[in-house]
């Protein structure tokens, strides 16, 4: 293409045609000719001067006015035909849709309007529809007809432009002139210098070689990025591992109601077990319990729900309702990772029964949970919980508060507040709040408590073993750390890929 354009120029005499004319002469697209000229310019075969040319482009509406007449003029002439004054309703009936726009643009110019009548301005006669004539003229405008500047300066044209009846289209084009290295044929330039070129001294003829662009940016390297939320997750995980916690396996997003609710002494009528709050599975809708030990435990849990239990700590009356095994078998998307904690606690109680050796433990997990919630700036239907528990002796609120304070201090949140709360499975229970600097208010970042004997006793834990536990938000502290006010910037399908790509793998 560059050679074709170069030959066409070399054949003619200067001044050479501009890029637009050249495109017409060669039967090429203007863009292609401009591309070829620019590459010739880069090699100094030609020098280019950039020029601009404009033309008018009528809107569809204006094109119609140019042939059918403008609505204001049509209204004006209809008025004159009625002796200069007429009822709105009458005119509207005659002109239809044109009446309204004619009224807008013709008022004060051709006629005055009062409540029900239009009245032609004194002294006006029916001349030609000058706007329609002008629009027709603008409609004929093309690049290089030479009338743009004169027309654009006219008051009437400016008035039509304010009414958005046309747009101005601008073309950038180029005037080529002979360049410093002009020649009628394009020399083939080589990109590489060989040993032979050095030996034969061919390198001394610089024109043979492509020049190097030393300012070119290198190709962007695709390095691994980490989703900002996952980065915060790995930081949290690291902190908990350093604090001596073991990680629980959480690869179990579908859970049955038994582990998610019943094992946690959550009564079957509890509103959290409603379809409004929990996603129930259609297939498979229910879990069958087959393991004998497990079946015995399920029965024991049912018993505690119905009638309670007793140990050295005291006596519980239970919830006093007829517990249903079928309800417990229903599958759900886990609503909290406390379901995982209840599984681990039961396993650990089994181990204690088998071995007779009590092992205090500190466990954690960070994974997704699901709730059927209305979404807003701080709520999602799918989010992460930082779950944890400590199994030991004589553990209570002081240990719980101290752990929570320590943990948050490690991620830079030092102003933590506790609020008494209620969970069916913990007593006492506390919600955890901290101040969100971007949202400028306290936000709940977690919930916690001391597991109730009604939960631990049927698992087989002796009364002197106590368990403190918590479920903390991952997203909210992450929002605080990353300074984002809307959770959707951090999680879900609207997270900008750029944020991920630009998040270096190593930080904090
Ligand atoms: N499961 C609770 C929640 O989802 C958190 C929690 C865990 C509370 C353990 C107390 C004990 O909010």
- Could you read off the pLDDT of 351-379 as tens digits, one per residue? 999 999 999 999 999 999 999 988 777 67
d(Cα 350, Cα 241) in Å, to the nearest integer? Answer: 25
Give 31-38 contacts, CB < 8 A, sequence gap 24+: 32/1, 33/5, 34/173, 34/174, 35/1, 36/1, 36/2, 36/4, 36/5, 36/6, 37/5, 37/174, 37/176
Give 354 Cα–ligand 1 centroid separation in angstroms. Answer: 29
d(Cα 476, Cα 37) in Å, to the nearest integer? Answer: 57
| Ligand 1 proximity of 470 Cβ (cutoff 6 Å) | yes
Q: CA torsion, points 198, 202, 203, 208, in degrees to nearest 10?
A: -140
Look at ligand 1, atom 4, and give the residue with the nearest C-alpha: 336
What pTM was estimated for this model as a whole? 0.61
Look at ligand 1, atom 10, and give the residue with the nearest C-alpha: 448
Helix (H, G, I), strand (E, B) or coil at 462: coil
First vs last Cα of the chain: how many Å apart? 54
pLDDT confidence of residue 466: 97
CB 396 within 8 A of CB 371: no
| Ligand 1 proximity of 364 Cβ (cutoff 6 Å) | no
CB 34 within 8 A of CB 26: no
Give 472 Cα–ligand 1 centroid separation in angstroms. Answer: 8
Work out the number of other CB atoms within 10 angstroms of the CB of residue 276. Answer: 11
Closest to 289 (Cα-Cα) out of 318, 330, 252, 250: 330
In the DSSP assignment, the letter for residue 218 is: P
CB 294 within 8 A of CB 303: no
| Ligand 1 proximity of 491 Cβ (cutoff 6 Å) | no
CA 115 to the chain's CA centroid: 52
**Strand ranges (E), 97-165:** 111-113, 117-120
pLDDT confidence of residue 227: 85
Nearest atom in ligand 1 to 264's CA: 1
Q: Which residue shows structure tokens 């304010």?
A: 162
Percent of the chain at pLDDT > 70 equals 99
Q: 272: pLDDT confidence band, cut at 50, 70 and 90?
A: confident
pLDDT confidence of residue 59: 94
Q: Phi and psi of 62, rounded to 5°?
A: -65, -35
Mean pLDDT of the chain: 91
Ligand 1 probe mutation, 471, 472, 473, most atoms within 8 A of CB:
471
| Ligand 1 proximity of 336 Cβ (cutoff 6 Å) | yes
Look at ligand 1, atom 12, and give the residue with the nearest C-alpha: 447
Give 471 Cα–ligand 1 centroid separation in angstroms. Answer: 4
Helices within 308-440 (DSSP H only): 325-329, 338-355, 397-410
Q: 115: pLDDT confidence band, cut at 50, 70 and 90?
A: confident
Burial group, residue 131, by CB count within 10 angstroms (0-12, 13-18, 19+): buried
Give 361 Cα–ligand 1 centroid separation in angstroms. Answer: 18
pLDDT confidence of residue 252: 94
């Amino acid at each position: 293409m560059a050679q074709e354009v170069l030959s066409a120029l070399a054949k003619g005499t200067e001044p050479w045609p501009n890029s637009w004319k050249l495109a017409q002469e060669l039967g090429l697209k203007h863009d292609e000719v401009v591309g070829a000229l620019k590459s010739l310019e880069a090699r100094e075969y030609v020098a280019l001067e950039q020029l601009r040319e404009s033309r008018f482009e009528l809107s569809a509406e204006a094109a119609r006015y140019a042939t059918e007449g403008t609505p204001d003029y049509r209204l004006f002439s209809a008025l004159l035909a009625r002796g200069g004054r007429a009822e709105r309703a009458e005119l509207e009936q005659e002109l239809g849709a044109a009446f309204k726009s004619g009224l807008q643009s013709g008022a004060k110019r051709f006629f005055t309007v009062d409540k029900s009548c239009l009245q032609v301005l004194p002294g006006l006669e029916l001349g030609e529809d000058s706007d329609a004539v002008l629009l027709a003229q603008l409609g004929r405008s093309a690049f290089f007809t030479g009338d743009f500047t004169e027309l654009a300066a006219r008051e009437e044209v400016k008035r039509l432009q304010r009414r958005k009846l046309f747009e101005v289209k601008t073309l950038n084009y180029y005037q080529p002139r002979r360049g410093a290295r002009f020649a009628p044929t394009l020399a083939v330039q080589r990109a590489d210098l060989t040993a032979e070129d050095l030996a034969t001294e061919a390198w001394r003829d610089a024109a043979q070689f492509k020049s190097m662009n030393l300012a070119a940016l290198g190709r962007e390297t695709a390095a691994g990025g980490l989703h900002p939320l996952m980065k915060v997750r790995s930081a949290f995980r690291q902190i908990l591992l350093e604090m001596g916690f073991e990680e629980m396996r959480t690869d179990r997003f579908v859970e049955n109601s038994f582990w998610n609710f019943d094992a946690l002494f959550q009564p079957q009528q509890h509103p959290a077990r409603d379809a409004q709050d929990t996603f129930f599975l259609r297939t498979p809708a229910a879990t069958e319990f087959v393991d004998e030990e497990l079946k015995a435990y399920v029965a024991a849990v049912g018993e505690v729900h119905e009638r309670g239990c007793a140990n050295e700590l005291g006596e519980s009356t239970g919830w006093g309702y007829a517990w249903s095994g079928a309800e417990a078998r229903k599958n759900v998307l886990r609503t909290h990772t406390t379901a995982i904690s209840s599984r681990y606690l039961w396993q650990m109680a089994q181990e204690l029964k088998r071995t007779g050796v009590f092992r205090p433990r500190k466990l954690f997990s960070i994974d997704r949970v699901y709730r059927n919630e209305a979404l807003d700036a701080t709520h999602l239907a799918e989010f992460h919980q930082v779950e944890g528990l400590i199994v030991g002796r004589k553990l209570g609120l002081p240990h719980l508060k101290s752990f929570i304070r320590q943990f948050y201090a490690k991620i830079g949140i030092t102003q933590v507040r506790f609020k008494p709360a209620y969970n069916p499975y913990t007593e006492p229970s506390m919600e955890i709040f901290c101040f969100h600097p971007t949202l400028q208010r306290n936000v709940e970042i977690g919930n916690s408590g001391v597991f109730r004997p009604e939960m631990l006793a049927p698992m087989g834990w002796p009364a002197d073993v106590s368990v403190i536990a918590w479920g903390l938000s991952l997203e909210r502290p992450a929002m605080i750390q990353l300074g984002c006010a809307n959770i959707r910037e951090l999680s879900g399908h609207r997270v900008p890929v750029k944020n991920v790509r630009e998040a270096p793998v190593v930080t904090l």
